């Protein structure tokens, strides 16, 4: 039974800070997050959800289309809920600061709360890593199947629970385009739709690095070797599940449902 829900007050959208420096979320993107995270939840993707959305009296200037025509928009505060807000980056920072005791404490806490079955396992940290690989591969497979591009796939925005978090410049594709990039300032397409599986793989390799102070080096090396295969396998399974689900959900009534499947596992694997 999951009893813990951690609350995170989101009042900041990163792209807007960089461009405008006032650090406020606008009503428009807050509604987008609310709608998209509900949709993702009901499509079976593990995700954070929006508990409340408060519109502020304050107005902010935004150049919505980045064409030099800023308009006044309403600001808003979104209350986001998730079972945990720990990210791969939360462990990386501890490892890079040499805070091994704290690293162990945080990982033990996450295992105790969310990976309870492995808490008494002899190699629980490696076990933990494998589970994050499996679940993250699964999550990304579902993203690919739905045509969802997260937009900011760095280790800070990848949950240790493999939930979709940090709805920022995300997007759903209208028609299939493997180069789809939802973040208008991601000029190089670093986090394009088709780069998501390899971005996920990269982040998982960083997770293994972050865990290195508390796991045996030889075992870690071996793990690195098998994790790619595990990732590919799990993505295929995730993809098949979505396909099966979609068949159940829409196939009979909706002749377009087959087009909802955006990217096949062989493409996923090819991207790695
Ligand atoms: C990505 O994660 C970092 C660290 O928590 C956060 O500051 C940033 O706002 C996140 N990006 C988005 C789009 O939410
Ligand atoms: C969009 O991409 C740019 C370039 O990679 C990056 O600097 C920026 O942080 C991204 N936007 C968000 C909201 O993460
Ligand atoms: C991947 O799947 C194949 C075929 O089902 C299986 O033989 C192999 O052991 C799996 N590898 C991993 C790392 O799970």
Question: Ligand 2 pocket: which residues have CB below 6 Å?
Answer: 14-15, 152, 168-169, 183, 185-186, 190
Model pLDDT, residue 20: 44
For residue 144, which of 71, 236, 207 has the smallest C-alpha distance?
A: 236
> Would strands 25-26 and 71-82 be described as parallel, antiparallel, or unpaired?
antiparallel
| Closest atom, ligand 3, to C-alpha of 229 | 13
Q: How far apart are CA 219 and CA 110, in angstroms?
A: 21
Are 175 and 86 spatial neighbours (Cβ–Cβ below 8 Å)? Answer: no
Please tell me the distance from the alpha carbon of residue 211 to that of residue 251, in angstroms, as a whole number. Answer: 43
Q: Which pLDDT does position 259 carry in this prediction? A: 46
Residue 68, C-beta contacts closer than 8 angstroms, at least 6 positions apart: none
Q: CA 30, CA 7: separation in Å to the nearest integer?
A: 16
Nearest ligand, CA of residue 157? 1
Ligand 3 touching residue 102 (CB < 6 A) = no
User: Which two structure tokens, joined as six digits, stand for 183?
Assistant: 């973040």
Give the rounded distance of the alpha carbon of 96 from its chain centre: 22
pLDDT in tens, the chain (272 residues): 344 556 655 443 333 333 345 667 788 889 999 999 999 998 888 999 998 888 888 888 887 777 788 888 888 888 888 888 999 999 999 999 999 999 999 999 999 999 999 999 988 999 999 899 889 988 988 888 888 999 999 999 999 999 999 999 999 988 878 889 999 889 999 999 888 988 998 999 999 999 999 988 777 777 776 777 777 777 777 777 766 666 554 444 444 444 455 555 445 544 44
What pTM was computed for the model? 0.82
Helices (H), the chain: 14-20, 27-42, 88-96, 100-114, 124-146, 196-211, 217-246, 265-270
Q: Which residue is closest in CA terms to ligand 1's atom 9?
A: 14
Ligand 1 centre from 167 Cα, in Å? 9
Q: Which atom, in ligand 1's list, is nearest to the CA of 89?
A: 4
CA of 155 to the centre of ligand 2 (A): 13
């Amino acid at each position: 039974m999951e009893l813990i829900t951690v609350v995170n007050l989101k009042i900041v959208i990163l792209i807007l800070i960089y461009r405008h420096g006032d650090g406020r979320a606008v009503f428009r993107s807050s509604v987008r997050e609310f709608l998209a995270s509900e949709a993702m939840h009901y499509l079976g993707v593990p995700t954070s959800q929006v508990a409340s959305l408060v519109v502020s009296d304050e107005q902010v200037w935004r150049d919505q289309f980045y064409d030099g025509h800023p308009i006044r928009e309403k600001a808003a505060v979104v209350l986001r809920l998730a079972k945990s807000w720990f990210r791969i980056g939360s462990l990386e920072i501890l490892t890079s600061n040499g805070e091994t005791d704290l690293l162990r404490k945080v990982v033990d806490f996450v295992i105790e709360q969310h990976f309870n079955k492995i808490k008494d396992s002899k190699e629980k940290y490696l076990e933990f890593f494998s589970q994050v690989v499996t679940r993250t591969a699964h999550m990304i497979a579902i993203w690919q199947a739905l045509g969802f591009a997260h937009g900011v796939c760095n280790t800070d925005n990848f949950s240790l629970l493999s939930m979709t978090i940090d709805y920022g410049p995300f997007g759903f594709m209208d028609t299939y385009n493997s180069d789809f990039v939802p973040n208008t300032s991601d000029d190089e397409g670093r986090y394009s739709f088709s780069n998501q599986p390899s971005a996920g793989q990269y982040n998982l390799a960083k997770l293994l690095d972050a865990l290195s102070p508390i796991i045996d080096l030889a075992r870690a090396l071996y793990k690195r070797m098998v994790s790619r295969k595990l990732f590919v396998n799990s993505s295929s399974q995730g993809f098949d599940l979505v396909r099966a689900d979609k068949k159940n959900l829409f196939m009979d009534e909706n002749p377009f449902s087959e087009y909802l499947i955006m990217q096949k596992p062989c493409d996923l694997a090819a991207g790695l």
